[in-house]
Amino acid sequence: METTLRGVGVSHGVAIGEVRHMGTAVLEPPAKQIPAEEAEREQGRARQAVEAVAADLIARGNLAGGEAQHVLEAQAMMAQDPELMADVERRIAVGSTAERGVYDAFASYRALLAGAGEYLAGRVADLDDVRNRIVARLLGVPMPGVPDSDEPYVLIARDLAPADTALLDPALVLGFVTEEGGPTSHSAILARALGVPAVVALPGAGELAEGTMIAVNGSTGEIFVEPSAEKRAELESAAAARKAALSAATGPGATSDGHKVPLLANVGGPADVPAAVEAGAEGVGLFRTEFLFLDDSKQAPSEEKQVAAYRAVLEAFPEGRVVVRVLDAGADKPLDFLTPADEPNPALGVRGLRSLLDHPDVLRTQLTALSKAAEGLPVYLEVMAPMVADRADAKAFADACREAGLNAKFGAMVEIPSAALRARSVLQEVEFLSLGTNDLAQYAFAADRQVGAVSRLQDPWQPALLDLVALSAEAAKAEGKSCGVCGEAASDPLLACVLTGLGVTSLSMGAASIPYVRATLAKYTLAQCERAASAARAADSAEEARRAAQAVLSGE
Active site amino acids? 186, 486
d(CA 184, CA 440): 12
* Four-residue CA torsion sign, 373, 357, 422, 468: positive
d(CA 86, CA 99): 14
Amino acid 367 reads L
Choose among 325, 200, 197: nearest CA to 266: 325
What's CA 493's distance to the chain center, in Å? 17
Q: In what order do the strands lie in the sheet with 222-225?
A: 3-6, 222-225, 213-217, 14-21, 153-157, 173-178, 198-200, 8-11
Name every residue whose Cβ is closer than 8 Å to that of residue 331 and which is 6 or more positions away in sequence: 119, 120, 346, 347, 351
Choose among 185, 169, 171, 158: nearest CA to 67: 185
H runs (alpha helix) in 301-390 = 303-314, 353-358, 360-374
d(CA 307, CA 75): 25
Can you name the residues that pair with 14 across neighbouring β-strands?
Answer: 217
d(CA 303, CA 372): 9
CA distances, 452 to each of 179, 182, 521 (Å): 8, 5, 30
Beta carbons of 238 and 13 less than 8 angstroms apart: no
Name every residue whose Cβ is closer than 8 Å to that of residue 258 and which is 6 or more positions away in sequence: none
Amino acid 399 reads D
Beta carbons of 470 and 503 less than 8 angstroms apart: yes
Name every residue whose Cβ is closer than 8 Å to that of residue 261 and which is 6 or more positions away in sequence: 253, 254, 255, 496, 500, 504, 505, 506, 507, 521
What secondary structure letter does DSSP report for 460? T
Conformational region of residue 405, where left means phi above 0, alpha means psi within -120 to 50, and beta covers everything else: left
Amino acid 418 reads S
